[in-house]
Amino acid sequence: MRLHPPQTAAQLAERIGATARGNTQRLVTGLNEINRVEEGDLVFVDHEKYYAKALNSAATTILINKEVEPPAGKAIIVCQDPCAEYNKLVRHLMPRQAWDSQDPVVGEGTEIHRSVVVGANVRIGADCLIMPGVVLYENTTIGDRVTIHANTVIGGDPFYYKKRPTGYDKMAPGGSVVIEDDVEIGALCTIDRGVSADTRIGAGTKIDNHVQVGHDTLIGRHCLICAHVAIAGAVVMEDHVTLWGQVGIPSKVRVGGGAVVLAQSGLMGSVEGGRSYLGSPAGESRRKLREIALTSRLPDLFRSLTEKKQED
């Protein structure tokens, strides 16, 4: 999420009653979590395992729960609970807007059914078709010539929580969804907004019914996603990827351009582009088919070995 206007690290530290160190007058131009952080952003870190990653990232202000030497040119803000303080900043700087607080900007030739629910700061391009029962949460952006079929929800909150001894703390959402030009989205799909950046569906991509796309996921251009696919958060799908029915993709995985993942497959990690994948855990399809063929022969092989042993 971008800050308008930007604020200094010292100003943000004062707002949450924390202490700033280093280049405290460095302007913070945005708040972001580590997967999408950019120069000028503030990022939070609260676990020793990720200290180095956060301090060495593109972020120029780090909200942290340990006294460390600020990296050159950067600021740190030291507090006891960075996650909770980050949530406070998001809620203050980007509070939720009432559903009817702002009319959408709608392009020429777009048709929106009267039952569609549209939140604040929504932009819809030209020649779009928004079918009955669609819900567009705040800050959603839709390009030109987009079709969204009935009862799809765009921009719901990310499924992102911090586990604590008392339960799960919800991450305050500050992101959005961007649907680029010439996208078609089937009925009963759900596309969650980013935690602090955007969830993006690339131009020309076609999505079937009953598909889930998690927060901060980036889907490339001209992808084909079939029914009952579930894509977790922070996934990167490059251009021209095909996902057949009931494919599952876990978080923070990259799917290379032109990859084809066959039906009911489950990826366990990133995969190269230009190849087909099958199975759960998924592997290169030709090899996986050979494994399946060999597995089917195991009973006969076992019977043969048993008979040979009895003859001996």
Where in the sequence numbering do the catalytic residues fall? Answer: 215
Q: What CA–CA distance (Å, rounded) separates 231 from 212?
A: 6
Are 183 and 158 in contact, with CB atoms under 8 Å apart? no
Residues 96, 163, 282, 188, Cα dihedral to 10°: -30
Cβ-based burial of 233 (10 A; exposed 0-12, middle 13-18, buried ≥19): buried
How is residue 58 written in tokens? 């593109």
How is residue 68 written in tokens? 């460390």
Q: What CA–CA distance (Å, rounded) separates 70 from 56?
A: 10
Are 201 and 213 in contact, with CB atoms under 8 Å apart? yes
